[in-house]
A and B are shown apart, each in its own frame.
Chain A
Amino acid sequence: MTFSVPSADSIPRPDPSGADAVFWDALRDEGVLKFERCAACGGFRHPPRPVCAQCGSAEAEWVTSGGTGEVWSFTVIHAPTLPAFMDQVPYGAVVVRLDEGVFLVSNLLDCPVDELTVGDRVELVATRVDDELTLPLFRRT
């Protein structure tokens, strides 16, 4: 079974504020992943944080990710799960390690659950749900 995005009326929906909103707004408006990066030492921090865990600096810039990475881990979820996903079990979920070193929980498009593999190369597919929400999903390259 391959993954399909839940319907707009059922999907649990981020309602972010502050720095979190920069991430989600960039996806929606530009179709890209933006991560917070320390302006002092260059270390990424995701989810966003008030200061850098490596050097303590509060100075940050937003950097557009190349959108490529690898499958760090995966699972095949059967149940129990969120109502929005119940009609497509079993479905795969992955942890992607972006090449910038940032980790995201996501799903792979066009990948049957029996083909999920740790280490596969993937790229971002900014997947529009509706005018408000775009999800950072991935596909194999």
Chain B
Amino acid sequence: MRTAAVAGIGQTRFAKNMGRTELDLAVEAIGAACADAGVAPASIDGIVSFHIEQVSEVDLVTTLGVQELRYMARTPSGGGGAASILGLAAMAVEQGTAEQVVVFRARNRSKAASYGSDPNQGGRPWAKSGSRLRDHRQWHHPFGVAAPAHEMSLIGRRHMGVYGTRAEHFGMQAVAQRFHASRNPDAIMRDPITLDDWHAARPIAEPIRLVDCSLENDGAVALIVTTLERARDLQAGAIPVLGHVQLGAPIHTELADFFATTAAYGERASGAVAAGRRLFGRAGITPADVDVAMVVEPFSLTVPLALEQYGFCAMGEGGPFIESGATRWPDGGLPVNTHGGSNGEAFVHGVNHLPEAVRQLRGTAVNQVVGAEVAFACGAITDPSGAVLLGVDR
């Protein structure tokens, strides 16, 4: 089987209310990724995105002049799929289905930027649900649980109840990421915060405070995935995909099922525990071999949960792991979200975390982990999700 590699990365500026269409943003990011790799957009032969992506494959084919599109795939869920899209692209390349696949996400989703009737076209989640609930919302909305922050806070609080995790632990990760962002010129939030600032921040749905939350902004991100051999011949070099997995776990928007299947984090292994074993087994390495991690976090509390389930620390130890400074650049043993993550750099459903993994392995990150050879990236742990391992080309 062939090996896939990332050959190019690209992104737009990240900002609130940019006033541009998602197609416009997507085309810019894809163009930047192609320019980084040194390939023509018209030579793209695969397109991978999220099922909630509003920019269609057809729009990209016609806009970019794509000559022969051989592969299209989309992953379920939002931030859960952030790493899965890279895996879907790698799979197509590994199997020989396509040679040059673009992975992208474009968002014009500032909270005031509602631009259509689809729930995935911006605005508040309940603004488009109507007053009559026929789907999964009937089990949440009548009780005032309607926003991702509400759902995730219930997940985080359970972790606190079982393991003694403190809300502050989530805050410490938020603070670390804002420090990372303060050094990143591409980040929206350039002012670092302290734990005192976290305590003073407005509560959203306790234990979640405002600074734990992903930002609401516009922007797009794209990556080019091709074969390892071809990437080696391209100008930016190759970042090989060492492994990729998906996991079909329940989602935070359906909490009865979420809690029934994940139980008490440890009473029954959740999907990510098994997925992590598959991922590292296939790559022939262990979590201890990972130098830097991108953990997609709609809210900071998903970071410790993901680190535990993928085996970077013991179950229940995610809070103390963060408190030890392990996830904070430059001194931590496993710096997490070194670009500033979703509460610091930008929220592009976590897809902006993937170029940062590539930059770390190229040695071009602003918060560079010295000698980084293996990077891990995973989607939001509270969704159907996935993870990838990237390495340096040896």
Contacts and interface: CB of A to CB of B under 8 A. Distances in A.
Given A14-B134, A75-B157, 5 more contacts: A12-B133, A15-B132, A73-B154, A75-B205, A118-B160
Contacts of B154: 73-75, 93-95, 105
- Give the size category of A's interface with B: 35 or more
A105 B203 contact: no
A91 B153 CA distance: 13
A77 B157 contact: no
Contacts of A20: 134, 138
B112 to A, nearest CB: 12
B157 A74 contact: yes
B252 to A, nearest CB: 11
Interface string B202-236: 11111100000000000000000000000000000
A141 interface: no
Interface of B: 124, 126, 129, 131-134, 136-147, 150, 153-155, 157-158, 160-161, 202-207, 254-257, 259-260
Residue of B126, B137, B205 most packed against chain A (CB within 10 A): B205
Q: Please name the 9 residue pairs, one residue from A and one from B, whose CB atoms are nearest each other, closest first.
A: A118-B161, A15-B132, A75-B153, A14-B138, A73-B158, A12-B141, A85-B144, A76-B206, A103-B256
21 contacts: A13-B131, A14-B133, A15-B132, A15-B133, A15-B138, A16-B134, A16-B138, A46-B256, A73-B154, A75-B153, A75-B157, A78-B203, A85-B144, A93-B144, A95-B158, A97-B259, A103-B255, A105-B143, A118-B158, A118-B160, A135-B142
B260 A102 contact: yes
A105 B140 contact: yes
Contacts of B140: 105
Contact of A107 (B144, B146, B157, B259): B144
Contacts of A16: 134, 138
A110 to B, nearest CB: 16
Given A12-B137, A79-B204, A73 B256 contact: no
Contacts of A13: 131-133, 142
Contacts of A103: 255-257, 259-260
Residue of B140, B142, B257 most packed against chain A (CB within 10 A): B142
Contacts of B143: 93, 105-107, 135
B150 A81 contact: yes
B206 A75 contact: yes
Nearest to A5: B142
Residue of A24, A81, A85 most packed against chain B (CB within 10 A): A81
Contacts of B157: 73-75, 118
Nearest to A106: B143
Contacts of A133: 142
